[in-house]
Amino acid sequence: MTAIRQFTQTTRPNRKIVPLHGRNGFEQLTIRWNQLISRLAHMRFYQHPDWYRALFDSALADPDEFLFLTVYDGPDLVGIFPFHIGNVCMLGTTIHTIGLCNHPHMVLADCVIDDSRECTRLIAELARWLHEARPVAWDVLLLDKIPQRSAFYHALCAEPVHPLVPNVTGSSAHVSTESEEAALGPVSGSFKRNLRRLAKRAEETAPLRYEVCHTLPELDLAFRQFLRVEASGWKGACGIGTAIAQDETLVSFYRELMQRFGARGQCIINRLIYGDEVVASQFGLLVGGALNILKIGYSEDHGWFAPGNLAMERTIRWCCARPDVYELSFVTCPSWSHLWKARQETVASFRIFNPSVKGLLLRTGLQTKRWYAKWHHRSDTTEQRADPSPTDAPEKQGADHLDAPASRINSAKAGKS
């Protein structure tokens, strides 16, 4: 277990930072954490304490490796920073890190900041406090998988921290579901006609129906069916073996999410049923007005009528019919999201280095590495332009292409409560 200095330091009048560590610290914080997120204008699923509880209870993450930094403005809790403590060995040197949880199944991350309060320079104060109070040894603060509409992104852009090294790493796709026209209007007419043709083709041999499960009794069965469908194709044991069912820890994690969010009606498992067989399923969390699709699965044996696309179309229509759902989020930016003309939100990583000698050397090394990579890429591009020989194929826009940055959502669903 990492030794944590129980140290409280005032950063400015009426503001203080209090560290809490491990499982005990998490349990002490849970009630106040829930009170804080209830005040947020737009809360996301990965800001909820039940997200972290599922990580801990499934053993996907060790709570003893977490440091929860709580920020108070007078008596009021205004910020929670759930940081993972780790080490990286590089060139024979141990680099001590603090950062947001970076597990492969935690694809987005954020802190929690009370957006009804004035919290300028909060990140800068936090970095300075970590340097001066030194609750744990650290050389670099790793802030990965931060979406553009997050509290962390907003705070870092409002008051840049030095020394800070940002980097765009990807994007998150989403569809506005304020109306069917907004959601499906931009979708290609030929694609929609093809979906209708495939649905009609399937219904010629067996009934096709779509069901939404959101209560715990029905979620239990739907979850088992979802696991079977997701493991039935290339993700399963006969493929690359990344299906959830191939890892008991992952099964436990998603079951914890189902039970904890499902107890509040916030876990949604959708099923497309062909005859009596589930041929496509989606596991999602309905939080803060957005249905977030965490995992999808479909039967490759029924690929002749594209059950995954048929299920997604019905999910979009279901969201549009709900007055409390303004967005369908794909969470990541899968290659097929372009079919639905999804908007894209920048996802970035940030590095805040300890202003120590070691931290400054690491910052210089990272900047030099990135400069060299950029220079090398520019040199290669120049050589390619000078080469008169044709390329093998035209360059294609990949799934990680970034459109214009998405704006922060700040309006309720038009005409609906």
Per-residue pLDDT tens over the stretch 298-331: 999 999 999 999 999 999 999 999 999 999 999 9
User: Do 61 and 46 meet the contact criterion of CB atoms below 8 Å apart?
Assistant: no
Structure tokens given for 195: 């979906």
User: Do 394 and 175 meet the contact criterion of CB atoms below 8 Å apart?
Assistant: no
Tell me the mean pLDDT in the region 274-291: 97
> Is 167 a residue whose pLDDT tops 70?
yes
What's at 171, amino acid-wise?
A: S
- Write down the pLDDT at residue 407: 35
- Write down the pLDDT at residue 89: 83
Query: Residue 28: exposed, middle, or buried by beta-carbon count in 10 A (0-12, 13-18, 19+)?
Result: middle
Q: In angstroms, rounded to a whole number, what is the distance separating the alpha carbons of residues 9 and 7?
A: 7
Q: What is the DSSP letter of 245?
A: G
Tell me the mean pLDDT in the region 239-263: 92
Output the average pLDDT for the chain: 86
Bridge partners of 230, per DSSP, are none
Q: Mind listing the pLDDT tens digit for each residue in 94-114?
A: 999 999 988 888 899 999 999
412 falls in which pLDDT band (50, 70, 90)? Answer: very low
Instruction: Report which of 294, 406, 407, 332 is spatially closest to residue 45, judged by C-alpha positions.
Output: 294
User: What are the residues whose beta carbons fall under 8 Å from the beta carbon of 173, sequence distance 6 or more?
Assistant: 329, 330, 332, 333, 334, 337, 342, 343, 344, 345
- Write down the pLDDT at residue 373: 73
- Write down the pLDDT at residue 381: 59
144 falls in which pLDDT band (50, 70, 90)? Answer: very high
Torsion angle defined by CA atoms of residues 143, 147, 148 and 150, in that order, rounded to the nearest 10 degrees: -80
> Is 417 a residue whose pLDDT tops 60?
no
Tell me the mean pLDDT in the region 244-250: 94
User: What are the residues whose beta carbons fall under 8 Å from the beta carbon of 39, sequence distance 6 or more?
Assistant: 114, 115, 116
- Write down the pLDDT at residue 162: 72
Q: How many residues does the chain have?
A: 417
Sole residue written with tokens 């809790």: 77
Tell me the mean pLDDT in the region 350-378: 79
Instruction: Using a pLDDT cut of 90, give the percent of the chain over it.
Output: 66
Exposure class string for 313-330: b at 16+ Cβ within 10 A, else e: bbbbebbbeeeebbbbbb
Q: Mind listing the pLDDT tens digit for each residue in 168-177?
A: 899 999 999 9
Q: CB neighbours (10 Å) of residue 17?
A: 23
Poorest-confidence range of 10-14, 122-126, 284-288?
A: 10-14
Q: Mind listing the pLDDT tens digit for each residue in 381-406?
A: 555 554 443 333 333 333 332 223 33
Query: Whole-model pTM?
Result: 0.84
Helix (H) or strand (E) holding 66: strand 66-73
Structure tokens given for 138: 């650290």
Q: CB neighbours (10 Å) of residue 50?
A: 22
> Is 136 a residue whose pLDDT tops 60?
yes
Instruction: Report which of 332, 50, 293 is spatially closest to residue 177, judged by C-alpha positions.
Output: 293
Q: In angstroms, rounded to a whole number, what is the distance separating the alpha carbons of residues 52 and 11?
A: 27
- 79 in the Ramachandran plot: left (φ > 0), alpha (ψ -120 to 50) or beta? beta
> Is 147 a residue whose pLDDT tops 80?
yes
- SS3 of 271, please? strand
> Is 2 a residue whose pLDDT tops 60?
no
Tell me the mean pLDDT in the region 149-158: 88
- Write down the pLDDT at residue 41: 87
